[in-house]
A and B are shown apart, each in its own frame.
Chain A
Amino acid sequence: MVKSTYQPSTSALPPLAPGWTEHKAPTGHTYYYNAETKESTYKRPGAAPVVVNPAMSSYVQHQTVPQINLSDPTVANAFMAQYGQPPPQHHGQRGGGSGAGGGRGGFQARPRPQPADKPRSKVAIPGCEPWVLVYTKYGRRFAFNPAKNASYWRIPEKLMPAILELDTARIREKAEGKTAEQPQEQKDAERSAIPAAQAQQEQPAHDYDSSEYEEVEVTDDEGAGDDGHDHDQDGNARKRQRTDEPAGDDGPAEFTEADIAAQLAAMGADYYGDVEMGEDDPGAEGAWEEGDEGLPLSDEDARELFKDLLNDFHINPYSPWEKLIEEGKVFDDARYSVLPTTRARKEVWEEWSRAKIQELRERRAKEEKKDPRIPYLAFLQEKATPKLYWPEFRRKYKRDDPMKDPKLPDKDRERWYREHINRLKLPQTTLKSDLKKLLESAPLSALNSQTMVSDLPPQVLADIRYISLDPKVRDPFVEAYIQGLGPPPEGGQAAEQEDEAAKKARDERRKREKALEERERAVAEEKRRQEKRVQYERARLLDEEREIERAMHVGKRGLQSQLLG
């Protein structure tokens, strides 16, 4: 399939006012500078239409409308040689003769940087023997005759049918080679090949007079199969555009954009067919979510994913839904959008919070009540001194958490404080024997040879006798005592079972996340396609606009110029 991405540069920008020059800022913006007034502006100083020397304009017109049949390559080449530097804006000049006047001269003189393109591969054209079709690095191609050592960007008309055939054959081959491809896509590719070919045939009609003009043909079929290649092509198109850009003397921004769009369109043309289904609203994510055909996520999975999200963000199950929405930290997560509506999300959230609260409650019931005395006693051991009376101590540490704990009555606190202070005055041996007694009172299931010193049972920790000894003395003592104890009684089966359940849950979760990833990829692809389609449409619109504009420009020569193209 052949398609030209060349955009006739009608560039309807008015010429610059005399004295103004155009420059490019380092940022890429175009600005205009007047050397006389030393003034610069971003706005194009569209001068009053310059009155052009009639003789000159007629010369230009004469120059740009040669009456030669250029479909013959030899004539075409001769013509190119003769009209070495035709003015770039041939369409505009043909239309109103609006003057390639004085202001523009400087830009024409500037050397035109050529993009560094290289031939990459060649294909012999069957039927027209010496001719070869050469593909370049940037995906363009030209016809080359090694016998005459002649090459043409514009493919000579006599080669056209053969090349078209070659292209169709290649498309077919590619489509058949890919088993994953649907036959429909191939059909699409072929269908799109036809208008493109027509475009190609129309193209030479109005382009032949420009030597700068390079007919860029993008082969569509390369994008047909694999996405990776497609990307590559995309990148190439962009790259080439960028290298071209400085060359365009004052190419308006819309032109370049349209060029890119056209490139993309050419590549996206085969997507077309299957995108058309979801045409109703472009770019709307909602459409994708509601019409989730082909989503790998079941409803169940989506719900589970959303619950995972809630778990991951450590959402407090007691908090109201409004708080979750107000904070908005879950919005960025992809899993937030697996459920299509906020109502569904809220439903899942409700379910989740109910389950979570239940779970929390069960866990809390299972784990033994944390004795509020433990932190308080530990605090006493650290801070209490015989130098302070209770009121002083309370006043000094009233800000500390153990002193504020509402679970512990103030009376008890005071009692323990006094007791502790009194015990500090006792001799070490008494304290040691007391501690031993305490340790002996603990059952073997709670305190045995497996127990760590840092992980003693609460009944030991919550006793005043435990804190009376200095930790430096106490810990070795307790350790020695534990060494002498027997092993714990049997009963470790339950833990293993729990582990298995946890593992199962983890596996399921991983599965769900995988599914989500796949879905994400699908969504991204769909988005990309849609974008391409939009760009393609935009390009077409621009094309048509330009065509209309061109049609509107009826110059002095009237109908004749129109017919000539």
Chain B
Amino acid sequence: MPAIRPASKRKPPPDGFEDIEEDLLIFGNKMKDAQNAPADNMPKHQAQWPIFQIAHQRSRYVYELYYEKEAISKPLYEWLLKNGYADAMLIAKWKKQGYEKLCCLRCIQTKETNFNSTCLCRVPRAQLKEDQDVQCVSCGCRGCASTD
């Protein structure tokens, strides 16, 4: 593994990074907190929920800045993806019809489920029973169908 260079020697991030640096830092801190939070008193499958959620939020933030608000430049966007500020695979799904609100990649991974189906959170609310409160096992999503 190559050595991580000191900040003074690193190439500076592309223009416009200062504008979003603060918010990204907040996301980063939240992520660190979530990673360090003790997972003793919760079911095992719930331990990773906050991490998935924060990753989703951060990716969504970058995605909206680039594709919807057009607030950041392409070089900066690519730099952010490269530096792990957003999940490129997830964003790639968001661009597809029917996946605009996808919560996480695990929820559409059909091969990992017993009946080769997607996660329950992908089911539109209209097709669920009345007042059925769902929260998916992989990321705690309460429903991410595009029609919701």
Interface residues in chain A, defined as those with a beta carbon under 8 Å from any beta carbon in chain B = 316-320, 322-323, 350, 353-354, 357, 360, 398, 404, 406-407, 410
Q: Are A406 and B23 in contact (CB under 8 A)?
A: no
Q: B23 contacts which of A318, A350, A357 (Cβ < 8 Å)?
A: A318
- Chain B contact residues (Cβ within 8 angstroms of A): what range? 20 to 34
Q: Are B71 and A320 in contact (CB under 8 A)?
A: no
B65 in contact (CB, < 8 A): yes
Q: Are A318 and B26 in contact (CB under 8 A)?
A: no
Whole-angstrom distance between the alpha carbons of A322 and B8 in the complex?
A: 33
- Minimum CB–CB distance from B22 to chain A (whole Å) comes to 7
Residues of B within 8 A of A317 (CB): 71
Q: Are A318 and B19 in contact (CB under 8 A)?
A: yes
Q: Are A320 and B7 in contact (CB under 8 A)?
A: no
Residues of B within 8 A of A350 (CB): 68-69
* A-B residue pairs in contact (CB < 8 Å), sample of 18: A316-B22, A316-B23, A318-B23, A318-B65, A318-B71, A320-B23, A320-B57, A320-B60, A320-B64, A323-B23, A323-B26, A350-B69, A354-B70, A398-B8, A404-B8, A406-B10, A406-B11, A407-B12
Q: Are A410 and B57 in contact (CB under 8 A)?
A: no
> Known: A318-B20, A410-B9. Is A357-B61 also a contact (CB below 8 A)?
no
Within 8 A of A (CB), among B79-97: none
Whole-angstrom distance between the alpha carbons of A323 and B71 in the complex?
A: 17
Residues of B within 8 A of A316 (CB): 19, 22-23
Q: Are B12 and A320 in contact (CB under 8 A)?
A: no
Q: Are A406 and B7 in contact (CB under 8 A)?
A: yes
Residues of A within 8 A of B20 (CB): 318
Q: Are B61 and A320 in contact (CB under 8 A)?
A: yes
> Known: A318-B23, A323-B26, A357-B69. Is A406-B57 also a contact (CB below 8 A)?
no
10 smallest CB-CB distances across A and B, nearest first, come from A406-B12, A357-B71, A318-B19, A320-B61, A318-B20, A354-B69, A319-B23, A407-B12, A410-B8, A357-B69
Whole-angstrom distance between the alpha carbons of A320 and B56 in the complex?
A: 13
Whole-angstrom distance between the alpha carbons of A353 and B72 in the complex?
A: 13
Q: Are A353 and B69 in contact (CB under 8 A)?
A: yes
Whole-angstrom distance between the alpha carbons of A410 and B10 in the complex?
A: 10
Whole-angstrom distance between the alpha carbons of A318 and B62 in the complex?
A: 10
Within 8 A of A (CB), among B4-43: 7-13, 19-20, 22-23, 26
Whole-angstrom distance between the alpha carbons of A407 and B13 in the complex?
A: 9
Residues of A within 8 A of B61 (CB): 320
Whole-angstrom distance between the alpha carbons of A322 and B26 in the complex?
A: 12
- Minimum CB–CB distance from A88 to chain B (whole Å) comes to 57
Chain B residue at smallest Cβ distance from A403: B8
- Minimum CB–CB distance from B14 to chain A (whole Å) comes to 11
Whole-angstrom distance between the alpha carbons of A182 and B97 in the complex?
A: 57
Residues of A within 8 A of B26 (CB): 323
- Minimum CB–CB distance from A24 to chain B (whole Å) comes to 51
- Minimum CB–CB distance from B142 to chain A (whole Å) comes to 16
Residues of B within 8 A of A354 (CB): 69-71
Known contacts A322-B57, A357-B70; 20 further A-B pairs (Cβ under 8 A): A316-B22, A316-B23, A317-B71, A318-B19, A318-B65, A318-B71, A320-B23, A320-B60, A350-B69, A353-B69, A354-B69, A357-B69, A360-B19, A404-B8, A406-B8, A406-B11, A406-B12, A407-B12, A410-B8, A410-B9
Whole-angstrom distance between the alpha carbons of A354 and B7 in the complex?
A: 32
Chain B residue at smallest Cβ distance from A398: B8
Whole-angstrom distance between the alpha carbons of A319 and B69 in the complex?
A: 12
- Minimum CB–CB distance from A395 to chain B (whole Å) comes to 12
Choose among B23, B65, B69 the residue with the greatest number of A CB atoms under 10 Å from its CB.
Answer: B69
- Minimum CB–CB distance from A328 to chain B (whole Å) comes to 15
Chain B residue at smallest Cβ distance from A404: B8
Residues of B within 8 A of A318 (CB): 19-20, 23, 65, 71
- Minimum CB–CB distance from B64 to chain A (whole Å) comes to 8
- Minimum CB–CB distance from B127 to chain A (whole Å) comes to 23
Residues of B within 8 A of A406 (CB): 7-8, 10-13
Whole-angstrom distance between the alpha carbons of A190 and B65 in the complex?
A: 63
- Minimum CB–CB distance from B2 to chain A (whole Å) comes to 19
Whole-angstrom distance between the alpha carbons of A239 and B116 in the complex?
A: 76
Residues of A within 8 A of B8 (CB): 398, 404, 406, 410
Residues of A within 8 A of B12 (CB): 406-407
Chain B residue at smallest Cβ distance from A394: B8
Whole-angstrom distance between the alpha carbons of A316 and B68 in the complex?
A: 17
Chain B residue at smallest Cβ distance from A326: B26
- Minimum CB–CB distance from B15 to chain A (whole Å) comes to 9
Whole-angstrom distance between the alpha carbons of A404 and B12 in the complex?
A: 11
Whole-angstrom distance between the alpha carbons of A360 and B19 in the complex?
A: 10
Residues of B within 8 A of A323 (CB): 23, 26
Chain A residue at smallest Cβ distance from B12: A406
Chain B residue at smallest Cβ distance from A360: B19
Whole-angstrom distance between the alpha carbons of A322 and B58 in the complex?
A: 11
Chain B residue at smallest Cβ distance from A317: B71
- Minimum CB–CB distance from A390 to chain B (whole Å) comes to 14
Whole-angstrom distance between the alpha carbons of A353 and B13 in the complex?
A: 23
- Minimum CB–CB distance from B56 to chain A (whole Å) comes to 11
Residues of A within 8 A of B60 (CB): 320
Residues of A within 8 A of B13 (CB): 406
- Minimum CB–CB distance from A307 to chain B (whole Å) comes to 15
- Minimum CB–CB distance from B27 to chain A (whole Å) comes to 9
Whole-angstrom distance between the alpha carbons of A419 and B124 in the complex?
A: 68
Whole-angstrom distance between the alpha carbons of A320 and B23 in the complex?
A: 8
Residues of B within 8 A of A357 (CB): 69-71
Whole-angstrom distance between the alpha carbons of A318 and B16 in the complex?
A: 10
Residues of A within 8 A of B19 (CB): 316, 318, 360
Residues of A within 8 A of B64 (CB): 320
- Minimum CB–CB distance from B113 to chain A (whole Å) comes to 30
Chain A residue at smallest Cβ distance from B22: A316
Residues of B within 8 A of A360 (CB): 19
Chain A residue at smallest Cβ distance from B73: A361
